[in-house]
């Protein structure tokens, strides 16, 4: 009896339900990926790959609801982004050493993702506040948040004491938090 009840709570992903997930969630998945890759073309490719992976692995899904299927879909998207970043890090370093820049996504593509996101103005205000930080604080945040370096790695790269690195990051975060209080409230309302 218990086994039958457990089986009854399994949501099965079929071609039809995946098609419905595509229609209802592909734009959100694309925005999710675009925010992380900052490239509309890559976001479109990885969105397609996310749904291709979902289709190929649909029999592995063990969730109990449509909401769980959506979460599973975003987990696949997160994995696609992670795989893309790992795969392209070496390529990006080589291109940078050679002075080659990939062609940027067209303004229409970027605008389309920003419009879907609904946060482009908020993002512009946040970027303005980030740019208002001192160059040292900007660099510290970039190394800690974007490059995900440890404080020890940052200290070695910057040639300063680890305590100084921690203080620099802490001051930058406090400064941003105080300057962005209205934006943070607005962001919470959007979420």
Nearest to 175 by CA among 139, 121, 133: 133
Q: Among candidates 149, 141, 152, 145, which has minimal Cα distance to 175?
A: 141
pLDDT number for residue 167:
92
Q: Give the tens place of pLDDT for each residue, 38-55.
A: 777 788 889 989 988 888
Please give the Cα distance from 91 to 165 (Å, whole number): 29
> What is the average pLDDT across 144-153?
86
Domains and their CATH numbers in the chain: 6-107 (1.10.1740.10), 119-190 (1.10.10.10)
pLDDT higher at 102 or 7: 102
Alpha helix locations (H) across the chain?
A: 2-8, 15-37, 40-56, 66-98, 107-117, 120-131, 135-141, 151-158, 162-179, 181-190
Q: What is the pLDDT of residue 190?
A: 46
Note if the pTM is more than 0.85. Answer: no
152 vs 12, higher pLDDT: 152
pLDDT surpasses 80 at 75: yes
pLDDT of residue 22: 84
Give tens-digit pLDDT for 79-135.
999 888 888 777 777 777 777 776 665 666 656 655 555 556 666 777 788 888 899
Per-residue confidence (pLDDT) for residue 185, from 0 to 100: 61
């Amino acid at each position: 009896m218990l086994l039958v009840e457990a089986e009854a709570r399994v949501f099965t992903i079929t071609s039809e339900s995946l098609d419905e997930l595509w229609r209802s969630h592909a734009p959100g998945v694309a925005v999710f990926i675009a925010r992380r890759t900052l490239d509309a073309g890559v976001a479109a490719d990885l969105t397609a790959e996310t749904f291709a992976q979902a289709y190929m692995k649909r029999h592995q899904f063990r969730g109990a609801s449509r909401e769980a299927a959506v979460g599973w879909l975003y987990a696949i998207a997160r994995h696609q982004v992670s795989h893309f970043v790992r795969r392209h890090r070496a390529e990006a370093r080589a291109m940078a050493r050679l002075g080659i820049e990939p062609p940027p996504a067209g303004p229409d593509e970027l605008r389309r993702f920003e419009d879907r996101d609904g946060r482009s103005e908020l993002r512009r205000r946040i970027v303005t506040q980030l740019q208002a930080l001192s160059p040292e604080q900007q660099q510290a945040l970039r190394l800690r948040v974007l490059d995900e370096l440890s404080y020890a790695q940052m200290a070695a790269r910057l040639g300063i004491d680890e305590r100084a690195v921690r203080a620099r990051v802490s001051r930058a975060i406090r400064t941003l938090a105080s300057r962005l209080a209205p934006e943070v409230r607005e962001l919470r309302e959007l979420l």
